A and B are shown apart, each in its own frame.
Chain A
């Protein structure tokens, strides 16, 4: 099997987020492989171990983005493509999908995995749009993946429960981090990843012009960043259980009036 995993490098959102004058402050932030993409890599590696597969990573990003690719390679992926061009900085979902469409043109694969969303934008559109552009069937928010009789068996977390779908090959699947617990790259894996092939791809290689990408980017544009309105800490109630419950009931009925 041939599996592609589309990856993104994102700021580590577990850290304190700093915003100044409407701009996101990237200095001092650690950049990591998007957690949802790490789950894609993990799942692809599990399938590789089970059935045999070649796992290829694709990332659009600047020079620093290579580190995220190397993390995926260190986990065990076979090779990687690094799509990089000054015109491709800070792409939105729609533009990213356009670039990836060009990348996948003429390539053979059994399926493409992408994270269900990126931890920085939380937009959740790129995977589905890419499948549309490639005219592939797709499913989002997968929490389980297997292959049976040349079909991909996908468990998807839906509104009413886990939906089980059989997808033909090729298809595109976006993965939730509830799918698995991505392995931590061993030091051996980290060292081995240096020797794995990582191919550099430019916009020209893709046969795409900066204008075509710009056209997608212009459909919507990011104006500024801010912090969410803070929710203030209310009353901390301490004491024995009786006191706690009595005080709470009093507050809920008389003050908040929600009971």
Chain B
């Protein structure tokens, strides 16, 4: 594994950074305040190729590697959690499985416009009663001969408010738990498909979080993704890839907060000197920087293993687990360094903290990540 980026990756980093500084940074606070989905910003991101980074060019993607994808995620999350999660869902949770499990026709029809960013995707796995344990999936699809009939509801669906295409996991063999789940590509304009925006979130408030409701939604037969009843495996491998993206997102958020805290500590004067002169502050800063570096290396290793075609299940979980936990810790320390000011929304650090917090929950809670790592360690 090479610790220096190659030229493609360096150029990707420059483009992502320029985009983030020029377009994301100025609106990040407003997005959090208004909770409005950043339609124009996502269009711009699409023009630059950020919606399908690691998807081959023949399917409308940029044809770059997973490491490049983590670079982009970090640069964007450095300023805005909402924007970065929107990109991550489209890239890893929707384009990812379509590439891996889709037929050639499905790739042409569904993947290409999503990777180009002409269409937006969302990922519908979680249900009110099936979170960490998707065996409890109640949404069901019934074989009606020439189509599937979909009924049920999904909850906590990022991009739901603005997406065109949903990957929906539904029960196709009731009573079989995980072994009876299948994955469907669903056109969100289908009759019977409705979306209810969810408000009142702590962080990443502009990510179009929604409830999806299916009432007799007809899904064409050819829209089954992968094999029948093998949806659980698709969900799990997809999350492996997704977790690398969330790890990078957590690192970006931690870095954004860290940079602000570092700067603030040099400017804030108490007891006649900059607070960065106090060892207590210095220790916080050094731990923050160190943890961010460690998380980044762990994440890059997982991405590198994915690019090498190795089994990266354990590393992706470890990276996501570590990065999300240090992101909560680092953003929390950033508030501490800012003192009372950090507790107000005059400064960005409280937003970084709120945005970072969810990284420990979605795409598998920290507890679930520990289970995954342990299962690998114990060979189960």
Contact = CB atoms under 8 A, between A and B. Distances in A.
Given A187-B15, A187-B62, A190-B15, A67 B48 contact: no
Contacts of B57: 188, 191
A188 B11 contact: no
A67 B10 contact: yes
B11 A70 contact: yes
Contacts of A185: 11, 14-15
Contacts of A70: 7, 11
Nearest to B8: A190
Nearest to B18: A184
B15 A191 contact: no
A53 to B, nearest CB: 23
A191 B50 CA distance: 13
Interface in B1-58: 7-8, 10-12, 14-15, 18-19, 22, 47-50, 53, 57
Contacts of A154: none
Nearest to B21: A14
A255 B10 CA distance: 52
A194 interface: yes
A243 interface: no
A187 B53 CA distance: 8
B130 interface: no
B63 interface: yes
Contacts of A8: none
B257 to A, nearest CB: 19
A40 interface: no
Contacts of A66: 7
B294 interface: no
B11 A186 contact: no
B64 interface: yes
Interface residues of A, number: 15
A74 interface: yes
A187 B18 contact: no
Nearest to B57: A191
Interface in B148-185: none
Contacts of B48: 184, 186-187
Contacts of A184: 15, 18-19, 22, 48
A190 B7 CA distance: 9
Given A186-B47, A186-B49, A191 B63 contact: yes
Interface string A61-82: 0000011001100100000000
Contacts of A191: 8, 57, 62-64
Nearest to A236: B269
A32 interface: yes
A70 to B, nearest CB: 6
Nearest to B11: A190
A9 B12 CA distance: 17
Contacts of A67: 7, 10-11
A71 B14 CA distance: 9
Given A32-B14, A67-B7, A194-B8, A187 B19 contact: no
Contacts of B15: 74, 184-187, 190
A74 B49 contact: no
A90 to B, nearest CB: 22
Nearest to B10: A67
A74 B7 CA distance: 12
Interface string B183-199: 00000000000000000
B179 to A, nearest CB: 39
Contacts of A186: 15, 47-49, 62
Interface in B43-94: 47-50, 53, 57, 62-64, 68
B7 A187 contact: no
A39 B7 CA distance: 22
B11 A71 contact: yes
Contacts of B53: 187
Contacts of B14: 32, 71, 185
A32 B11 CA distance: 9
Interface in A143-187: 184-187
Contacts of B68: 187
A184 B15 CA distance: 6
Nearest to B6: A67
Given A32-B14, A71-B14, A188 B7 contact: no
Contacts of B22: 184
A187 to B, nearest CB: 3
16 contacts: A67-B10, A184-B15, A184-B19, A184-B22, A184-B48, A186-B15, A186-B48, A186-B49, A186-B62, A187-B53, A187-B62, A188-B49, A190-B11, A190-B62, A193-B11, A194-B8
What 3 pairs across the A-B complex have the smallest Cβ distances? A187-B49, A187-B62, A186-B48
